[in-house]
Amino acid sequence: MSVRTAVAGDPAALSAIHTASFHEGWTEADFHTWLARAEAICVVAEHAGEVVSFGLALAAGSDAELLTIASVPAQRSRGLGRQIMRALDVEAGRRGLDRWILEVARNNLPAIGLYSSEGFVEIGLRKAYYPSETGRIDALVMSRPVLR
Ligand SMILES: CC(C)(COP(=O)(O)OP(=O)(O)OC[C@H]1O[C@@H](n2cnc3c(N)ncnc32)[C@H](O)[C@@H]1OP(=O)(O)O)[C@@H](O)C(=O)NCCC(=O)NCCS
């Protein structure tokens, strides 16, 4: 397993993981657009030559906004998400960013478990933030310093 910065050839793999993870997954073209942005921070974990997990964030002033972390369903609970978070810290630290901000659906217990165990704390609530098949879901807003 190795972790590296995303490259121009990664969007298809990122889209496949995102689509397997979310009701309205982002397309390959979406990821091309994200990666082309100077503010984008994207790291991927590879296993046996395949991308198995990734994290995407945007620099916003001195904040780092975590847009998503996702692991291939068959490879979850093996420490990939945590490694991605650590790699994102390194990249955000390199850019001089100070603070992580993220939104996470209130019922997304694996993600809340990951973020809580990584030191994130709840700093706010966004009512009815995410659409879902069962109606709109609140988002927790979580934050912690960028770790160096
Ligand atoms: C959230 C997600 C990225 C975690 O990835 P992962 O590769 O399984 O993460 P890890 O194996 O590194 O787990 C790290 C920690 O997360 C927490 N966690 C992981 N899966 C969990 C689960 N099913 N229930 C509760 N906590 C969980 C645990 O604290 C875990 O630490 P531990 O193994 O020491 O107990 C993964 O479940 C995923 O891809 N989900 C779909 C996409 C998503 O919802 N992303 C978050 C968007 S905000």
Give distance in angstroms: CA of 113 to centre of ligand 1: 6
Q: Which of 24, 46, 65, 115 is catalytic?
A: 115
Q: Which pLDDT value is given to residue 127?
A: 98
Nearest CA owner, ligand 1 atom 34: 79
Give distance in angstroms: CA of 21 to centre of ligand 1: 12
Check which CATH number belongs to the domain holding 87 and give it: 3.40.630.30
Give distance in angstroms: CA of 27 to centre of ligand 1: 23
- C-alpha separations of 102 from 115, 137, 138, 141, 145 in Å: 9, 15, 13, 6, 12
Q: Is 39 a catalytic residue?
A: no
pLDDT in tens, 62-75: 999 999 999 999 99
Q: Is 91 a catalytic residue?
A: no
User: Is 71 close to ligand 1, i.e. is its CB under 6 Å away?
Assistant: yes
Where in the sequence is the domain holding 83, given as residue range(s)? 2-145
pLDDT in tens, 88-123: 999 999 999 999 999 999 999 999 999 999 999 999
User: Is 53 close to ligand 1, i.e. is its CB under 6 Å away?
Assistant: yes
With a pLDDT cut of 70, the percent of the chain lying above it is 100
- Helical H runs in 1-148? 11-21, 28-36, 80-94, 109-117
pLDDT in tens, 22-38: 988 999 999 999 999 99
Structural domains in the chain (count): 1
* Strand (E) or helix (H) holding 42: strand 40-47
Residue written as token pair 């790699």: 87
Residue 56 near residue 41 (C-beta atoms within 8 A) = yes
